[in-house]
Amino acid sequence: MTEEPTTVAAARPTETQVPSLELMVAAGITAIPQVGAFLFGGYGHLIVILPVALALTLADIAAVVVAAMQLRADRHARRPTHWLVWITLALAAPWILYVLYIGVIALMVQIFCINQTCRGPIR
């Protein structure tokens, strides 16, 4: 005597998927520049300490790669993407865009010789 599943049991949503440990770590890493900017008064105080800026940038890029791989795997498996993927990408974007902006300015200063160190003395 087996019972057929009722419509209520059939309509019950499936369990939500728990995100991977890598994705949780990536989301935590992408929050570090945001928290640092809040505590130290903006990105400008973080970007001037080159080892800190480089470490934060490389960690953010690695976190974006992890989130992108998870997004690709979800799309390939035709399953919904976990909200933590979108949070990771949204948290990483401001810092990476700021670093690119400062990098472009530094490159333009060197290319167009804007500061005094690359020019000779003015006579």
What average pLDDT does range 91-98 have in this prediction? 95
Question: pLDDT tens for residues 50-64?
Answer: 899 999 999 999 999
* Residue 61 resides in a domain: yes
* CA quadruple 86, 91, 97, 103: dihedral sign: negative
Query: Is 15 a domain residue?
Result: no
Give the pLDDT score at 90: 96
Pairwise pLDDT comparison (61 vs 111), residue with the higher score:
61
User: In this structure, is residue 2 part of a structural domain?
Assistant: no
Q: Is residue 13 included in any domain, yes or no?
A: no
What is the number of domains present in the chain?
1
Q: What is the DSSP letter of 30?
A: H
Average pLDDT of every residue of the chain: 85
Residue 117 in contact with residue 107, Cβ under 8 Å? no
- The reply to whether 5 falls in a domain is no
Q: Is residue 99 part of a domain?
A: yes
Residue 14 has pLDDT above 90, yes or no: no
Number of other CB atoms surrounding residue 82 within 10 Å = 20
**Residue in the block written with tokens 């005094």:** 116
Question: What pTM, to 2 d.p., does this model score?
Answer: 0.76
> Which domain covers residue 102, as residue numbers?
20-118
Three-class SS state of 3 = coil
Q: What is the mean pLDDT of residues 71-91?
A: 93
State the pLDDT at residue 112. 82
The whole-number pLDDT of residue 104 equals 94
Asked if residue 87 has pLDDT above 60, the reply is yes
**pLDDT > 70 in the chain, percent:** 80
Does residue 110 lie within any of the structural domains? Answer: yes
Domain assignment of residue 123, yes or no: no
